[in-house]
Amino acid sequence: MMGIWPREMMRNADEEDRAFQELRRKIREAKVLCPAVELLLAGVRFTGRLSVVLQNGQILKSGYEEGYFTRRQDERLVG
């Protein structure tokens, strides 16, 4: 069995740290969804919540809470 050299461990930790920082930046800048999904959400005027549950980088579950309205429903709510 070959051991991991300290230099390799540090390199892996640095790469992991950079990846986590990039993930935090993307979330902070609201760049979590791909453009295709954003277009679909805009197309149906979706205003609900999207949720994604991850474990070890794998999606376990995803879902949404409906909150989208048609233009006619919007007018009834306002008027």
Q: Looking at residue 36, what is its pLDDT? A: 92
- Mean pLDDT, rounded, for 22-40: 88
pLDDT of residue 60: 92
CA max distance for the chain: 73
- Separation of alpha carbons 6 and 26, rounded Å: 30
How is the chain split into domains, by residue range?
1-32, 33-79
Average pLDDT over residues 27-47: 87
Over the stretch 44-75, which tens digit does the pLDDT of each residue have? 888 888 888 989 888 899 998 876 555 555 55
| The two three-digit tokens of residue 19, written as one number | 């990846």
Amino acid in position 67: G
Residue-wise pLDDT for 3-27, tens only, equals 666 667 667 888 889 988 998 898 8
